[in-house]
Amino acid sequence: MWFGNFIKSFYNDEALGDSTIETIEIIFLRAQRQQPNEEPHAWLASTWLARIKARGQNINDPDIYMISFFETYLHACIKPPLCARSLGLYFLYKENPHIIAKYPKFANEYASLMGPVLKAQEEGTIDQLYRIYNPKMYEKKDKEF
């Protein structure tokens, strides 16, 4: 399916949107296999780094590494593998906002995935939601700060 969408993505914006999301999901699953002892937030950060590296950015800067965790924090509050899908939609928003405007299915799915996360953030319970999927990283964060 991915390859078919990849070919279609050259001439079809909807297929490009689907391909963007599928690519992020594939990279996430690869990070999960390569780092089996890590948690979803680490896999999402690795996915984010792989994506920006593929787009020509230097990922060897320690600040970029930290940004990868910042950029993926809210997505890490979603159950895997849906967290990877939300990250793919996020990249679609950043890289091709015209596709989001043209195909509301992407915006609707993103709103559905991120709705509970944004609600938890608004209510001040985001840390508890984060902890559900990233308990080791949550404990580590508490010790460092």
Average pLDDT over residues 42-46: 98
13 pLDDT band, cuts 50/70/90, is very high
44 neighbors 28 (Cβ within 8 angstroms): yes
User: Can you give the pLDDT at residue 7?
Assistant: 57
Q: Dihedral sign, CA of 64, 88, 77, 137? A: negative
Count of all residues that appear for the chain in the document: 145
User: Can you give the pLDDT at residue 139?
Assistant: 85
Q: Dihedral sign, CA of 119, 39, 97, 112? A: negative
144 pLDDT band, cuts 50/70/90, is low
Domain of residue 120: give its range: 2-144
User: Can you give the pLDDT at residue 142?
Assistant: 54
145 pLDDT band, cuts 50/70/90, is very low
Average pLDDT over residues 123-133: 97
Number of structural domains the chain divides into:
1
More confident residue, 1 or 117: 117
Average pLDDT over residues 35-61: 95
Inform me whether the pLDDT recorded for 138 exceeds 50: yes
